[in-house]
Amino acid sequence: MATGFLSTVNLFISSTLPSSSATSSSSSLSILLTVYPQKQHARRQQTLSKARSESHPTSPLFTRRGLSVGFIPGLFLSLWGTGLFNTNAAVLEADDDEELLEKVKKDRKKRLERQGVISSSNKETGYLQDLVYQLSKVGQAIDNNDLSAASMVLGGSTDTDWVQKANIAFTKLSFSPEEKSEVDTFNSSIASLISSVTRNDVESSKSAFVASASAFEKWTTLTGLVGQLKGL
């Protein structure tokens, strides 16, 4: 199409201008017609490239988020490599060891204090040994379904002498809340045992006796007296 147009223009120029001018003008116009489409094509390509750039902007290679995400694992690895995490772990372990050692010292101190109190409490230990003896007699009587014999040992209430003396020992030798709780359980069970025996209720008497004996045994274990009393 461009070639045909160029021939027509040359023919027009040749018919209106002298031969020398026609030749010169024809050459200039040929160059113009050849270069112009190239410039137009180049401009079109630039415009398309700009449009693509504006509609799809290139993401920067190192965005702030990218830097932070990439930096954190690197920092973690570098700290680990320098031994900082190992040092912190060693410090925490040392703190745990110190706390454990402190706890062991306190427990040992309490145990020594308790042993000192028990060693100086021969009378109270005697009360507890008598409690073991009296409970043994009650248990044998109930096992034989002889509630009359059990009643004679228990008496009619918790005011019985050996029960009262046992509570004196409990009060002096109980230190922790757990130990005091077992004392309360024992006294509650003894009261229930006396009531059941008085009503001549064998089954309830057996249940109450087991509860009383269990509470007393737990208390002696907690206080460390389980090995000092005979019959347990």
Report the pLDDT value the prediction gives residue 109, as an integer from 0 to 100.
Answer: 73
Report the pLDDT value the prediction gives residue 33, as an integer from 0 to 100.
Answer: 42
27 CB-near residues (< 8 Å, 6+ apart): none
Determine the angle formed by the axes of helices 84-119 and 64-82, rounding to 10 degrees.
50
CB atoms near residue 192 (< 10 Å):
17
Please give the model's pTM, rounded to 2 decimal places. Answer: 0.55
What is the residue-averaged pLDDT of the chain? 74
* Per-residue pLDDT band at 226 (split at 50, 70, 90): confident
- Looking at per-residue pLDDT, the higher value among 106 and 144 belongs to 144
Residue by residue, DSSP assigns 31-50 as: HHHHHHHHHHHHHHHHHHHH
DSSP state of 201: -
- From residue 96, alpha-carbon distances to 92, 103, 104, 105, 145 in Å are 6, 11, 12, 14, 56
What tokens does 3 get? 């070639």
- Looking at per-residue pLDDT, the higher value among 215 and 112 belongs to 215
Residue by residue, DSSP assigns 182-204 as: HHHHHHHHHHHHHHHHHTT-HHH
Residues 123-156: tens digit of each pLDDT = 999 999 999 999 999 999 999 999 999 999 999 8
* pLDDT at residue 185 greater than cutoff 50: yes
- 166 sits in which H/E element: helix 161-173
CB atoms near residue 142 (< 10 Å):
21
122-223 topology per CATH: Four Helix Bundle (Hemerythrin (Met), subunit A) (1.20.120)
Work out the average pLDDT over 222-227.
Answer: 88
